[in-house]
Amino acid sequence: MTSAFPSPVQEREPVDPTLDLEVEIQRLKEERKAVILAHYYQDSEIQDLADFVGDSFGLSRQAEKTDAEVIAFCGVHFMAETAKILNPGKKVVVPDLDAGCSLADRCPPEAFAKWLEQYPDHVVVSYINTSAAIKALSDIVCTSSNAANVVASIPADKPVVFAPDRHLGRWVERQVGRKMVLWPGFCVVHEQFTARRMLAIKRDHPDADLIAHPECEQAVLDLADFIGSTAQLIQHVRTSPKTKFIVATEMGILHQMQKARPDAELIGAPADSGCQCAVCPYMRLNTMEKLYLCLRDLAPEVTVPEEIAKRALLPVERMLAIA
């Protein structure tokens, strides 16, 4: 879980404004023998200097195989925590310890454990957007890129509990043709997209593909031409013959999409309010200045209690084995 208090890094002295942060970050990265991993929802300048940019699955894979001594994780807390579970002996630092996730934060382990008591014979599948403590209570973890494969890998006669994203859970149910017990969580960013707005923007751009992340509600997904994880959405744009796309996910993704298809017109899907402002407030806590400070001071560090990390490792490894 993330702290309710400001992390120490936010109380540090201001960074010298004349510093060339890009140069300093590269220098510190070499000095610390660090690798910088970044999610597609990060600011474009952070994505541009990262060693690897990816979706949750790709980032876990990179964390699993890195030989760097330090992992500087530019994403949100559960992603860095997963990197730590996979690398208990390495130092994992983040620009801002308060960069949580609405899905992870609204699925507290005590309430989850109590809820699970109702389903003692169920296989517990948890989305990677959960705390390490939730992963430790699960049989297998999944990401948006492999959730259907993970559920399909469970014997058909076993009942399944899926947490915490109800929209992803419903989408998986339809993919796999199997009912599951769903924890009623949602993402505050994707929840802003509505079918009403999507119908209107599709009418304005009938030649565009609507592409959506499976954290969007079912009525939005029903209107989509393609649904996938952030990496899969970028791959769709890269390989599609279409030249116009309405993109229903966090706006940070547009940076790599435009690089992949400079000729394509990318339209950020509007939120229900009408604004093109689907920005994750947690992801955007990370800045170049905070990345510089975390490499300079090797803090704040992400830690996971040993007992929880040990129990969370197997469900994460099971997920990594299912591409």
The one segment of 115-123, 185-193, 263-271, 311-319 that binds ligand SF4 by CB under 6 A? 185-193
For ligand 13P, the binding residues (CB under 6 A) are 55-56, 129, 143-144, 187, 213, 215, 229-230
Of the candidates 17, 30, 38, 2, the residue with the CA atom closest to the CA atom of residue 291 = 38
Q: 135-140 contacts: CB < 8 A, separation 24 or more?
A: 135/82, 135/85, 135/311, 135/312, 135/315, 135/316, 136/308, 136/311, 136/312, 136/315, 137/109, 137/112, 137/113, 137/311, 138/312, 138/315, 139/315, 139/318, 140/315, 140/318, 140/319
Helices 306-321 and 56-65 meet at what angle, rounded to 10? 110
Residue 220 site contact among ligand 13P, ligand SF4, none (CB < 5 to 8 Å, cut-off depends on kind) = none
Residues 230-259 that bind ligand SF4 (CB under 6 A): 250
- Nearer Cβ to ligand 13P (29/213): 213
CB of 230 to ligand SF4, least distance (A): 9
Least Å distance, CB 189 to ligand SF4, is 4
> What does the chain come to in residues?
323
CA–CA separation, 35 vs 52, rounded Å? Answer: 8
Nearer to ligand 13P, 164 or 292 (CB): 164
Cα-Cα-Cα-Cα dihedral sign, residues 269, 271, 276, 282:
negative
Q: Which is nearer to ligand 13P, 112 or 127 (CB)?
A: 127
State the binding string over 77-106 for ligand SF4 (x if CB under 6 A, else -): ------------------------xxx---
Nearest distance from C-beta of residue 40 to ligand SF4, angstroms: 10
Nearer to ligand SF4, 28 or 107 (CB): 107
* Range 115-134, binding ligand SF4 (CB under 6 A): 129
Cα dihedral 286, 288, 294, 295 in deg (nearest 10):
140
Judged by beta carbon distances under 5 to 8 A according to partner kind, the member of ligand SF4, ligand 13P, none in contact with residue 267 is none
Tell me the site size for ligand SF4, rule CB under 6 A: 13
In this structure, the number of other CB atoms found within 10 A of the CB of residue 314 comes to: 15
Contact residues: ligand SF4, CB under 6 A: 76, 101-103, 129, 187-189, 215, 250, 280, 282-283
